[in-house]
Amino acid sequence: MTRISMSLPKELLEEFDEVLRYRGYQSRSKGIRDALKDYIVRYQWMNEMEGERTGTVSVIYD
């Protein structure tokens, strides 16, 4: 495995650590690996889309 170093704002790291605790991660490195994999999958999925996209926005209120 390759080691990397990165700089993050303190608040972002605190939020990330909170998510890791909530999800039961024992390792920050594992959480970062999973987050990067998810980012790559979403990026690839968006790039594979072709043609028009249709969507809806629903607003419900009383």
So what's the pLDDT on residue 60?
A: 94
27 within a domain of the structure (yes/no): yes
pTM, two decimal places: 0.70
54 within a domain of the structure (yes/no): no
Q: What is the CATH number of the domain that holds 27?
A: 1.10.1220
60 within a domain of the structure (yes/no): no
With contact defined as beta carbons under 8 Å apart, do 49 and 42 qualify?
A: no
So what's the pLDDT on residue 51?
A: 77
- Sequential DSSP letters for 1-62: ---------HHHHHHHHHHHHHHT-S-HHHHHHHHHHHHHHHHHHHHH--S-----------
22 within a domain of the structure (yes/no): yes
15 within a domain of the structure (yes/no): yes
23 within a domain of the structure (yes/no): yes
Q: Which domain holds residue 15?
A: 10-48
55 within a domain of the structure (yes/no): no
pLDDT digits (tens, 9 = 90+) for 10-56: 999 999 999 999 999 999 999 999 999 999 999 998 888 777 878 89
Residue reference for tokens 């993050």: 8
